[in-house]
Structure 1
């Protein structure tokens, strides 16, 4: 089986490759193709991944290419992890948000829209080419904002695509760890949107074990729920995704994002240091030294994640990077591949087309829900109606996502403004107009044809 990673020259690729190699035999994995347009960075990351494969001894070939057609030929699964606009784009987004006095978090609110402005056309082009070259292949999208990108792809007619985020399975993994169980022994009921989801039950042998966990201060302190005050979690009565911090503590989040360098600037500097070190070492000639430098970098990056948001600083390593199961988004994707390939059935949280799973959202909305996955495909678990206390926020943000997806696909400035006005973290025409115009001005390549 061939697996392609689009964005394979990115600094997170070695972590994904490391996890994939552990499952190579179960997946009958023969090739991991790293595809990237960055001619300088791809050979460095490719050398690290080749060394990981050599150490693993599984015989999986690591190949590199800048050709989409070459990467997609004969492929079974494609993982998209690109960051259109690069780290500098993230910095630009954050500074524009800071200028307008709104949240500068890369997947939520104004900056989430800016990232979607670049991510949607990029991932859609890859998805359409994949459909032409390998129509039976699955595309797993990790490029943020994952839910909104998945919505746009679905609106554009892409069907063999699923959005994946490691934070969707937070409750399932945490309760399993507390009880010393395999996560698949825990039946979680997840509902909502990407980075805006809730888990109302986590059953083991038919008994909901979530209430007792939420009543335990030590449990809360040892999970991503520690970013919230315990009374806030218990008032909700369910597991709440850690990104809800930005809604429930917006005043603190704004204060934290307004001080010192932005997170994008921190990551940009960390990445520069890593790449300089890999060049100095000559990664292709000294891969062992290069790998040591790489994992030192990972430790520094994880330790600094969201450092300017003190309440949430220790929640997790990095967005879509590390999770409670130790493999982060790679673990979710690889378990999904195993199930689709016929190695049993799993229950996992994914971003998929609703199809009636959540009764108070549209059938064609992309939602984040628990799904059953096996060789027959991916089936969302019916949720019914959401509890009112959670439904109002989910429905508000989903309204924004519908408008934002249509705005980017149609290159419609007026609709983009309407989308940001609808977002609970903006809610202002004057702000939305200034933000949209600044984002379009900053990204002329992606803004071509907008009206």
Structure 2
């Protein structure tokens, strides 16, 4: 099976290749084609993959393509993991928003809107090329903001594009662990949008185990989300929110922590990864060891400003393991390619799963996956506060899509102004001015 990875110089790509190396089943991926707009980055990551493959019999061949169309031809699966503007763009997104006193995170609030506005046109172009050059391929979208970008691509590719995120998986596994439950035997009642969802139940053999967790303050405060949000707030919600909801529930504290920090998350990653890729330009650098060291630092500092704002302290060692987006991707490919049914939390077109949203809205819900793709499972209605937030943010996403399609500055202003974390139309106008000045990728806005 042939897999093409767009954004083939992305830092987290070795996680995907590691999962492919461990897959020995019939019909596994045998060829991986990397494409990146920065050839030096894809060359660096190819060195890491070569170290990973050393001594592994029949490791998937790795090819670096110099042309996007060349990379897409003949692909059976396409992973889209691009970052338009790079980490320098992310750092600018954060800095510009914080200067206005609003959140600048890459997928939430003003920063997420800016990132989406410059990413959607590129993602739509990729979707057009896939439709023309690899019409039978399945596209698995890693690109953030994942739900928004998936919805943009779905307008051209339909249900053959599926978005994935490791946050719901990580949340479910952490909750299962503290409850002493095998996560592989549990049903996670999770619903919302990407980076805006809630775990409302964890069922084993028909019994919901989540009330047991919510009733135990000590147990509730023993894992990442419990420390971030606090047991009292989780009991008030009656659910465990995705960690990204910390930006909504504790916005003022988080913005203050970001503004007082020496470096924003984007600036930190930009500096860290610049060191890594510079190190990789030296021929004698042990590639895999350098990548492992950089990744460990990255994971340990994840959401550090949120933990500082909430007084949660350092990440617990048990919470350092990622949710496993590479494992989700592999399970998704296996289910489609081999017709083996799987249940996964994915970003797909709604099709009635969440009653408050229309059929074409991309949502993040449990899905049954088989050879015909991902089929969303209808979920119980969200409570009013969650429904309101989901509908408001989906409306913002639709404004981003409209602005990207039309090049309308007015629609871009609306996208910022309507977001729950942007508190003024005047701020929204200044944000559009500042972002268009900073990003050539927003030159289409008029």
| TM-score band w.r.t. shorter chain | over 0.9
- Superposition deviation, residue 180 in structure 1: 5.3
How far did residue 344 of structure 1 move? 2.6
- 2:403/2:445 contact within 8 Å kept: no
Aligned residue for 2:297? 300
TM-score norm. by structure 2 comes to 0.93
Give the whole-Å Cα distance in 1 for the aligned partners of 2:220 and 2:188: 17
1:33 has 2:33 as partner: yes
Q: Deviations over 1:205-235 (max 9, x none)?
A: 1111111123343354224342111111111
More displaced stretch, 47-56 vs 192-201: 47-56
Would the aligned equivalents of 2:220 and 2:231 in 1 still touch at CA under 8 Å?
Answer: no
Q: Which runs of 5+ in 1 are unaligned?
A: 284-288
The equivalent of 2:254 in structure 1 is 253
Helix, strand or coil at the partner of 1:341: helix
C-alpha contact 2:159 2:349 (8 A) present in aligned 1: no
Cα deviation for residue 64 of structure 1 reads 1.0
User: 1:286 aligns to what?
Assistant: none
Equivalences for residues 397-436 of structure 1 within 5 A: 397-436=393-432
Distance verdict in 2 for CA 1:301–1:424, change over 3 Å: same
- What are the within-5 Å matches in structure 2 for residues 143-222 of structure 1? 143-156=143-156, 158-178=158-178, 182-216=182-216, 217-222=218-223
Structure 1 position 48, deviation (Å): 1.1
Number of aligned positions between the proteins: 441
**Equivalent residue of 2:25, what SS?**
helix
How is 1:334-349 mapped onto 2 (pairs within 5 angstroms)?
334-342=330-338, 344-349=340-345
- Displacement, 1:24? 4.5
Q: Which position in structure 2 is the counterpart of 1:269?
A: 271
User: What's the C-alpha RMSD, in Å, of the aligned pairs?
Assistant: 2.2
Secondary structure at the counterpart of residue 177 of structure 1: helix
The CA deviation at 1:87 is: 1.1
In the TM superposition, residue 88 of structure 1 has moved relative to its aligned partner by 0.8
Deviation, structure 1 residue 314: 5.1
* Structure 1 residues 364 and 178: CA distance shift in structure 2, 3 A: same
Q: What is the SS of the residue equivalent to 2:369?
A: strand
Q: 1:193 to 1:70 in 2, by over 3 A?
A: same
> 5+ residue gaps in structure 2?
none
| Equivalent residues of 1:146, 1:164 under 8 A apart | yes
Once the two structures are superposed, residues 96-145 of structure 1 have per-residue CA deviations (whole angstroms, 9 ceiling, x without a partner) of 11221111111101000111112111122112111111111111111111
SS at 2:282 equivalent: helix
Q: Would the alpha carbon gap of residues 158 and 375 (structure 1) be closer, same or farther in structure 2, given more than 3 Å must change?
A: closer
Cα distance between partner residues in 1 of 2:316 and 2:435: 29
CA distance in 1 between counterparts of 2:301 and 2:202 reads: 31
Whether 1:240 and 2:237 are equivalent positions in the alignment is no
Deviation of 1:65 after TM superposition, in Å, equals 1.3
Partners of 1:223 and 1:307 in 2: CA distance: 12
Displacement after TM superposition at 1:181 (Å)? 5.1
Residues in 1 aligned to 2:313 and 2:105: alpha-carbon distance in whole angstroms: 13
